[in-house]
Amino acid sequence: MTPHTLSRKAAIWLVATLMMFYGAMSMASSLRLADPSELVGHWQLQQEARPGTACTLDLLQNAALGAGADCLSQWVGEAVVGWFPEPDGIAITGREGSKVIFFSRQQEGVYEARLKADELIVLQRAAN
């Protein structure tokens, strides 16, 4: 091999490495972890399969669920008591702190989750 061939291979590897590095950085920056205070407040829960069935759900400052937790518990099939933000959504937790259901962020103020029966639940910021 000539020195010119080695430098060409090195340049190709360098470009590929930089593309992977900057691609990972841009992906990480697009998944910003929301501050919990941004999510605290009143939310509306709606089952897509049952348009008339809706509940309100309060996400409290102390990472607990307030009013509406019993409604969501019935839909999920087990008690839900807490929540925490994740880079791509909101996790709802059970009594032991384990994740019970995950709401994936669809757009600002709108999250979706699927129940085991493949029913879609939409969690949307309630109008003030």
For 53-89, write each residue's pLDDT tens digit. Answer: 899 999 999 999 999 999 999 999 999 999 999 999 9
Q: What is the length of the chain?
A: 128
Q: Could you tell me which residue, 14 or 69, shows the higher pLDDT?
A: 69
Residues 6+ apart with CB under 8 A from 92: 65, 72, 76, 80, 82, 83, 99, 100, 101, 102, 103
Q: Count Cβ atoms below 10 Å from residue 15 Cβ, excluding itself.
A: 10
Which of helix, strand or coil describes residue 26? helix
Residues 6+ apart with CB under 8 A from 23: none
What does the pLDDT read at residue 4?
58
Mean pLDDT throughout 93-120? 93
**If one looks up domain 36-125 in CATH, what number appears?**
2.40.128.10
Task: Quote the pTM value.
Answer: 0.74
